[in-house]
Amino acid sequence: MNVSIIGTGYVGLVTGIAFAHAGHHVICVGRNPDKVESINAGKAPFFEPGLDILLRRVIAQKRFIASVDFSRSVIASDITIVAVGTPTVDGSIDLTQVKDAVALVGEALFKKRSYHVVTVKSTVVPGTTEQVVWPILAQASAKSAKDVGLCMNPEFLREGNALEDALDPDRIVIGSLDNKSARVYAKLFAKNTCPKFFTNLSTAEMSKYVSNVLLATLVSFSNEIGDIAAQTPGVDIVDVWQTVHADRRWSPKVGNKRITPGIIHYLFSGCGYGGSCFPKDTKALYRFASDKGVSMSILGSTIAINDKQPHRLVELASRALGELRGKRVAVLGLSFKPNTDDMRESPALIIMRELVARGADVTCHDPEAYKAEVPESLHQLGVTLEKNYEGAIKNAEAVILVTAWDVYRKISPQEFVRLMAHPLVIDGRRIYDPLKFIKAGVHYVAVGRGPGL
């Protein structure tokens, strides 16, 4: 099928490349000519493992192209997918980009006679596709439901594993205005054998939020338990989580083999969640519920706990060093998780802001997060960005580990001792062996580690 995707960001580009790999012909539409040119040269504007390799392959196969020609791209396709950003402003979802994109799609479809399906892939609160998108689309195109189909197809892409999720999804949810819309859109997934759920539009919209909010709640619950452990002599939360994870309801046994499902990684204490989805989606659903008069106390606590968690690492540094003013503190990891360069809502930014506010001299490093360009948020902070982790930790009086990149896992305690002015390591992701670090002479401090250990 011929597919146009409005948006050359994370969701739009990954989705487009996956559809092209499946044999469809895809045009990704963007506004930025430089970004479009880069994509057509085989270079994605963000880091995702394996993405550039597959991008170059589908371009060579003439199944994928990026374009700034909005109208022509829509008219040349059978299906248009809207995959633009839906940030939160003051806790509420901002639909500006969605509305603008849909209006332009409608204007393009005004010139087209054949049946066309428009699908919302952007994350939107329940009711948006039918109550906001459809009226704009119908008015701009001057067409009815018999001429234009409407679907909602939420994305479930994990940054760092997005290509895998797009190529081999664990489920496909298609909400639709009518059966014809769903039937035509589902042709895109003819080769996929995973479960397919056909729902109404609002149910599809809600499924995305529930998925993300549940995982975010597990993270905040884990961090709250970690805080209790940190105040309890002799308790290490890592040992506690090992016993919890062994429950067959979390880690089922098939014969003598233990299965370790991905969900238990969200049941582990750390710095808190970040990224482009969890922070905005939890806030948007919380406000959506509040506007309907529904009190979501668990979700409210999830957000509040996560807001506090990065500050706890700064407190650990302060307790160990005393006054932070004038102290050299290194932060390892800027992206919100490994295998992505996404720094949106990253705990590292919150940690560095507070360190700077307390007068610390902050250095930092990340393997990917600022390769393309240094974000303005970092320029404004006045921190020193180093090209390698050795430069970041050299002569530091404390290191705060924020992102569990493999390159950081391999740093030996002896290297911290050799390079640092004072070997104090604050392990915000619990990736190091405490006994090995203490034996090597490192002052080891970590989330969820109680007094006396």
Instruction: For the chain, give every domain's residue range.
Output: 2-199, 213-446
Q: What is the pLDDT of residues 120-164, one digit of tens each?
A: 999 999 999 999 999 999 999 999 999 999 999 999 999 999 999
Query: Stretch 265-291: mean pLDDT, rounded?
Result: 96
Its pTM stands at 0.95
Q: Is the pLDDT of residue 95 over 90?
A: yes
Question: How high is the pLDDT of residue 371?
Answer: 66
Q: Does the pLDDT at position 226 exceed 80?
A: yes
Nearest to residue 375, comparing CAs of 342, 351, 407?
342
Query: C-alpha angle 429/430/435, rounded to 5°?
Result: 155
| Continuous H helices in 29-161 | 33-40, 51-60, 70-75, 96-109, 128, 134-141
Please give the C-alpha separations between residue 386 and each of 21, 346, 405, in angstroms, as whole numbers: 37, 18, 16
Q: What are phi and psi of 154, to 5 degrees?
A: -65, 150
What pLDDT score was predicted for residue 374? 65
In CATH terms, the superfamily for domain 213-446 is NAD(P)-binding Rossmann-like Domain (3.40.50.720)
Angle at 4 between CA 172 and CA 25, to 5 degrees: 85
277 is catalytic: yes
pLDDT of amino acid 381: 84
Confidence at residue 370, expressed as pLDDT on a 0 to 100 scale: 73
Tally of CB atoms within 10 A around 374: 11
Phi and psi at residue 363, in whole multiples of 5°? -115, 155
Catalytic residue, from 28, 151, 271, 277: name it.
277
Mean pLDDT confidence for 322-342: 96
375 close to 46: Cβ distance less than 8 angstroms: no
How far apart are the C-alpha atoms of 426 and 437, rounded to whole Å? 11
Neighbours of 107 (CB within 10 A): 16
Do 213-446 and 2-199 have the same topology in CATH?
yes
Share of the chain above pLDDT 90, in %: 96
DSSP at 197: E
- pLDDT tens readout for residues 383-411: 999 999 999 999 999 999 999 999 999 99
pLDDT of 372 above 80: no
Q: What is the mean pLDDT of residues 154-181?
A: 97
**42, 59 Cβ separation under 8 angstroms:** yes
* pLDDT given at position 219: 98
Alpha carbon distance, N-terminus to C-terminus of the chain: 61
| Average pLDDT across the chain, whole number | 96
Q: Are 269 and 232 in contact (CB under 8 A)?
A: no
pLDDT of res. 376: 73
Q: Which of 227, 243, 128, 108 is nearest to 177 (CA)?
A: 128
- Using the predicted structure, report yes or no on whether residue 373 has a pLDDT greater than 80: no
* Cα–Cα distance for residue pair 73/214, rounded to 1 Å: 37
CATH architecture under which domain 2-199 falls = 3-Layer(aba) Sandwich (3.40)
Average pLDDT over residues 246-256: 93
State percent of the chain over pLDDT 70. 99
